[in-house]
């Protein structure tokens, strides 16, 4: 069965099939995967996909998150619908029943489970959880098309990092991908002009100055387009 395929950590491709965020007056913004909607190339009998790079897990991961589509738990912020597609890097075919695990901070830069360690002030020191909150964390299984979808909010920021969402992919009980997804700085500038994001001062880090972004994370950049109107 496909969920039992043997795969190495670099044996899967995680790319975005779509993403939508409501910004201002009911207008929606959608983002297609930075690497397009299909295989990058087919040549000489070989199928080639663009692989989203392996990146650091970060200090705020908690195993055993809830299986759910809506991870907001009422946290304020610009609504964001995130759809990720998991693909076998060798065949470029979608993988069914993969578990996509995402987590990110709220509009104030706080991660659930680490409230006292992540008050927007920078990365934690690797200690354990400090509370039992679970907002903005969740897992979804991919469907037959390899797609997992989440309802969340646009992430906030914390000191030393550009705006991002963390992701892990599990197949057959094994972690096959750990990565991060980034947002265009111009989009973040627009979102952050509105509440609740504008309650904080200017963010201190943009993509070109983020060490993770410049060391491969740029391949996880989202391409944004308008998908609706108010």
Residue 104 CB burial class (10 angstroms; 0-12, 13-18, ≥19): buried
CA distance 69 to 82: 10
Whole-angstrom distance, CA of residue 164 vs CA of residue 135: 16
Q: Which domains does the chain have, with CATH numbers?
A: 2-226 (2.60.130.10)
Rounded distance between C-alpha atoms, residue 104 and residue 42, angstroms: 35
Q: Does the bond joining 208 to the residue before it have cis omega, within 30 degrees of 0?
A: no
- pLDDT by position in tens, the chain (length 230): 333 333 444 445 554 434 433 333 333 333 333 332 333 333 333 444 555 667 766 666 677 778 999 999 999 998 888 888 888 877 778 889 989 889 999 999 999 876 655 555 555 445 666 667 889 999 999 999 888 888 889 999 988 999 999 988 888 888 888 888 889 999 899 889 999 999 988 999 999 999 999 987 777 777 665 555 44
What's the token pair of residue 162? Answer: 């550009």
Q: What is the 3-state secondary structure (H, E, C) of 102-159?
A: EECCCCCCCCCCCCCCCCCCCCCCCCCCCCCCCCCEEEEECCCCCEEEEEEECCCCCC
């Amino acid at each position: 069965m496909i969920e039992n395929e043997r795969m190495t950590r670099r044996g899967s491709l995680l790319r975005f099939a779509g993403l939508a965020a409501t910004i201002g007056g009911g207008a929606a913004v959608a983002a297609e995967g930075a690497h397009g909607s299909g295989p990058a190339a087919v040549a000489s009998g070989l199928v080639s996909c663009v692989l989203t790079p392996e990146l650091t897990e970060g200090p705020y991961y908690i195993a055993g998150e809830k299986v759910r589509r809506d991870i907001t738990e009422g946290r304020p912020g610009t609504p964001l619908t995130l759809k990720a597609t998991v693909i076998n890097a060798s065949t470029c075919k979608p993988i069914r029943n993969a578990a996509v695990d995402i987590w990110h901070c709220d509009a104030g830069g706080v991660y659930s489970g680490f409230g006292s360690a992540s008050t927007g002030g920078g990365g934690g020191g690797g200690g354990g959880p400090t509370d039992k909150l679970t907002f903005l964390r969740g897992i979804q299984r991919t469907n037959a098309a390899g797609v997992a979808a989440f309802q969340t909010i646009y992430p906030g920021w914390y000191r030393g990092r550009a705006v991002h969402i963390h992701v892990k992919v599990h197949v057959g009980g094994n972690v096959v991908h750990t990565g991060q997804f980034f947002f265009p700085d111009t989009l973040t500038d627009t979102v952050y002009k509105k509440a609740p994001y504008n309650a904080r001062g200017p963010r201190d880090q943009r993509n070109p100055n983020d060490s993770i972004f410049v060391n491969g994370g740029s391949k996880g950049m989202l391409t944004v387009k308008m998908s609706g109107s108010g």
